[in-house]
Amino acid sequence: MNARLLLGLAALAAMGSMPARAIDLRQRSESGTKQFIIYSEDVRLRQRVASFADEVKSDVLQLLGESDLWKAPVVVTLARATAADRGEPLTRLRLAETQPGFKIEIQVRIGDDPAAVNLRQVLLRAVLMEYAYRRTGVDAGQVVAEPPWWIVEGLAEMARRREEGIDSALFQRLVETNRLPPIESFLGKKPDELGLTALAVDRALAMCLLEMLAGQPDGRNHLGRLLRDWPQSNGDPTALLARNFPALGTGPILQKWWTLNLARFAATNRYQGLSAEETDRALTPLLDLEMVVNKEGEKKTFAVSEFAQYLKLPASRAVLNSRQADVIALSTRANALYRPVVADYESIFSLLARGKTRGLAARLTKAEEYRQFVLRRTTDIADYLNWFEATQMKSLSGVFDSYLKTAAAISEQERKQTGPIGRYLDDLQREF
């Protein structure tokens, strides 16, 4: 939660000496998107919570690549805790059937420690639940499935890291100790059963997993489909993940992907991002595959597009898996404009390793065309910026200082070696 919102909750908690009374239904505020209806005695707190709720929803929509097409309202009631609430949860969330469909109700009780109210998480649960049941609705008496905990905590951690930065040391320790839990058991954990330290680690791992899934080709759409399928998944997150992200595989393959993405976060403070040209230079040799072609150990190099020739070789699968890992490693430093290209080649190598070639020739052509387009465009942008600085800016950045000094030195040297005319001009310059 942001500081202003926390202060508002603290102000409401400070009213503890006043007698409790029912919330006046006229004391309500709506969020800018109209989905959140906030009830509270404090008008400023209502407005802050309404704004905060829209920010939380925006994070979800951005992750899923969705526009705001909500159907069910979310009603939030804020009140101070009383003696009767002692021992009860500070927040309650329930999905209620209504005549036009359903609504989600959130009750928040603020006690002596306003920070204990995990408002971001409960709002994330509400938004994800509304998204999951938006198309199917809810029948009376139906058991409602909570959204996957790792998506809720992963989104919350993304917001926290956005404000505070990535703690790469945490990821480095996990990589160095090689204690990444099996993904099947990780997906089934419930965070409220863990201690604070273990929960902090699991939140970081959940964020890492979400980033990996969203970064896959069409990954945001697949995440949305996973959430919509969740209520009918019978609580089997591993099978649901494999069904919606088949390119990632299952078991050890999925674990490997997760580990490699974890290594990307561990490296955030050790590497600077590559430029587009540097990314292209690093990617180019990865698209050539050297393989043993006969029993004598003779080797031959194939372009990745020549899969009809090399897929029949026994060594092809191991080489393709190794090359896929190399491309994933490159993605940790790749230029932002090149990341779609690198992600596409990750998927291509994964498909080739499994012998799946349908439509792959066209996909390789498209990836190469986009790669060349990005390279040309970044070169054009660099040329334009250089021209603009050299001819239009009133103050210079200093980038060209060494070049200008070298050019001036060369010009001076040439001028001094022009014979009698040059010496005459030198004499005039010294005189005047």
In this structure, are 89 and 188 located in the same domain?
A: no
Residue of 85, 160, 173 lying closest to 118 (CA atoms): 160
Q: Is residue 230 part of a domain?
A: yes
Residue of 196, 201, 203 lying closest to 152 (CA atoms): 203
DSSP secondary structure code for residue 393 in this structure: -
In this structure, are 70 and 126 located in the same domain?
A: yes
Phi-psi region of 81 (alpha: psi -120 to 50; beta: other; left: phi over 0): beta
pLDDT of residue 268: 57
pLDDT of residue 39: 93
Question: Which residue positions in the chain have pLDDT lower than 70?
Answer: 1-25, 112-115, 165-172, 174-179, 189-196, 250-251, 266-273, 382-432
In this structure, are 126 and 155 located in the same domain?
A: no
Distances (CA, A) of 365 to 273, 304, 326, 418: 26, 11, 21, 55
In this structure, are 106 and 223 located in the same domain?
A: no
In this structure, are 205 and 223 located in the same domain?
A: yes
Q: Are 36 and 76 in contact (CB under 8 A)?
A: yes
Q: For the chain, what is the domain count?
A: 4
In this structure, are 79 and 22 located in the same domain?
A: yes
In this structure, are 23 and 121 located in the same domain?
A: yes
Q: Is residue 396 part of a domain?
A: no
In this structure, are 4 and 130 located in the same domain?
A: yes
pTM of the model: 0.59
N residues, the chain: 432
For residue 367 the two structure tokens come to 């990836």
Q: Is residue 345 part of a domain?
A: yes
Q: Is the dihedral of CA 162, 168, 169, 175 positive or negative?
A: positive
pLDDT of residue 326: 86
pLDDT of residue 55: 94
pLDDT of residue 274: 75
Question: 144: exposed, middle or buried (C-beta count within 10 Å: 0-12, 13-18, 19+)?
Answer: middle
In this structure, are 296 and 362 located in the same domain?
A: yes
pLDDT of residue 165: 65
One-letter amino acid for residue 169 of the chain: A
Q: Is 214 helix (H, G, I), strand (E, B) or coil?
A: helix
Q: Are 249 and 346 in contact (CB under 8 A)?
A: no
**Which of 91, 118, 141 is where one domain is finished?**
141
pLDDT of residue 270: 46
In this structure, are 253 and 336 located in the same domain?
A: no
Q: Is residue 50 part of a domain?
A: yes
pLDDT in tens, 72-105: 999 999 988 777 777 778 888 988 888 778 899 9
Q: Is residue 397 part of a domain?
A: no
- Distance, in Å, from the CA atom of 199 to the CA atom of 209, rounded to the nearest integer, reads 15
Instruction: Provide the domain limits for residue 410.
Output: 403-431
In this structure, are 1 and 134 located in the same domain?
A: yes
Q: Are 136 and 66 in contact (CB under 8 A)?
A: no
For residue 242 the two structure tokens come to 């494999």
pLDDT of residue 54: 94
**Which of 117, 141, 165 is where one domain is finished?**
141
pLDDT in tens, 172-183: 676 666 667 788
